[in-house]
Amino acid sequence: MTLKKLWLKFMIKMYVPAALKGMRYTMARVFQKKATLSYPEEVHVPRKGYRGEHRLKKDEQGRMKCVACLMCQTACPAECIQIVGAPSPWADRDKIPVVFNIDMLKCIYCGMCEEACPCDAIELTPTFTKVSPTREEKIYDINKLLSR
């Protein structure tokens, strides 16, 4: 046998089974549920417990729950939270935050701030589609966090 015929036999033995295996895999996937979405038309629903963008909670009187204890700032591994506290005008609290900024571009959405908060003032919402034309808009201040 010539070298050309041996090469041809070898290629048929190697190629045909691999091609059939690939076609079998493809045909099996044709009838399964799609893994992708047509995004603007089909909206993705995040799973329960999804950690999206942050928000600050309010209490029953409509006041912010945060007491500026700095626990979330300390717990944040990305160091994206900045809090400055001031004396509280209310008798039931020592301090309130005057500055509460979260840099969403630095945030790794780990949920450590939510777990560290002793008064359950910060939470991660299922919101994930916030787009901004500038980087400055992704630094959320206290007003933006309370309005969510």
Contact predicate 83/145, CB 8 Å: no
Contact predicate 58/65, CB 8 Å: yes
Q: How many domains does the chain have?
A: 2
Q: What pLDDT shows up at residue 67?
A: 95
Residues in a beta bridge with 135: none
Q: What pLDDT shows up at residue 116?
A: 96
Q: What pLDDT shows up at residue 102?
A: 97
Q: What pLDDT shows up at residue 35?
A: 80
% of the chain surpassing 90 pLDDT: 64
Q: Judge whether 48 lies within some domain.
A: no
Residue ranges of the chain with per-residue pLDDT less than 70: 1
Same domain for 76 and 141? yes
Query: In whole angstroms, how far apart are CA 74 and each of 69, 71, 78, 117?
Result: 10, 5, 10, 10
Q: What pLDDT shows up at residue 4?
A: 82
Same domain for 58 and 26? no
Same domain for 114 and 79? yes
> How many CB atoms are located within 10 Å of the residue 127 CB?
13
Q: What pLDDT shows up at residue 1?
A: 67
The residue segments making up the domain with residue 7 are 1-32
Q: What pLDDT shows up at residue 63?
A: 92
Q: Judge whether 38 lies within some domain.
A: no
Closest CA to 86 of 94, 78, 95, 77: 95
